[in-house]
Amino acid sequence: MSNVENETIIWSQLRKADPEAFQILYDKYWTPLFLYAYRTLNNKQEAQDILQLFFSDLWEKSTTLPFVTDLRYYLFRGLKNRILNSIRDKQIEEKQIAAFYEVLDETDTIPDDPINDITFKDKILPLLEILPPRMQQVLQMHYLQGLSVTDIADELGSAPQTIRNQLNIALKRLREKLVVR
């Protein structure tokens, strides 16, 4: 039996979620796929992580995989796409982080007297309007009035964990808006 016929049988069995077929495929292609990923990324750990995710997805989607005539091409092409997606995602994340720090640099963090600071009024206070009234109130009590989470919880009749959750959600939403701007 030729190599192509063997691969066709292995692929057909993999499409039936046969663990032995997956193991054969994994054993045969892990090293060449790893070398390709490593050469592309120049990072051993990242190459291993991406390859692990690639094989994991291959197994999870095994019953919905298409019929392919060139298995080697299909695997390398799939890995290449996963690598490109990973690189793109990292670039987007780096841009978002840079934008966030740029806004923080422009606002010089939170001033000693935020109410009288023009930058704070212009950039941060308008963003509070995107939050529900209760989150606005909790943020103002904590950051502008300097109240502790426990004091806010007592005053509003809520559990301290509820106040912490509201603060975390509010800050997350504000960060997202700051990054977009």
Are residues 25 and 49 both part of a single domain? yes
Label residue 16 left, alpha or beta by phi (over 0 means left) and psi (-120 to 50 means alpha): alpha
Answer yes or no: is 102 within a domain.
no
Answer yes or no: is 99 within a domain.
no
Q: How confident is the model at residue 92 (pLDDT cuts 50, 70, 90)?
A: confident
165 versus 20: the higher-pLDDT residue is 20
Are residues 14 and 78 both part of a single domain? yes
Are residues 57 and 30 both part of a single domain? yes
Q: Count CB atoms within 10 A of the CB of residue 75.
A: 21
pLDDT for res 45: 93
pLDDT for res 111: 47
Residue 113: pLDDT above 60?
no
Answer yes or no: is 147 within a domain.
yes
Q: How confident is the model at residue 1 (pLDDT cuts 50, 70, 90)?
A: low
176 versus 20: the higher-pLDDT residue is 20
Q: What is the pTM of this model?
A: 0.55
Domain hosting 10: range is: 3-94
Mean pLDDT for 134-153 is: 84
CA distances, 5 to each of 1, 69, 70, 151 (Å): 6, 10, 11, 72
pLDDT for res 101: 61
Are residues 113 and 87 both part of a single domain? no
Are residues 76 and 48 both part of a single domain? yes
Answer yes or no: is 86 within a domain.
yes
Q: Mean pLDDT across the chain, nearest whole number?
A: 82
Residue 108: pLDDT above 50?
no
Q: Count CB atoms within 10 A of the CB of residue 54.
A: 20
**In terms of DSSP H, where are the helices of 42-114?**
44-60, 71-107
Are residues 62 and 23 both part of a single domain? yes
Asked if 81 and 58 touch (Cβ cutoff 8 Å), the reply is no
Specify the number of domains making up the chain.
Answer: 2
60 versus 125: the higher-pLDDT residue is 60
Answer yes or no: is 101 within a domain.
no
* Residue in the block written with tokens 């007297």: 113
Q: Which of 68, 94, 120 is the last residue of a domain?
A: 94
Are residues 113 and 78 both part of a single domain? no
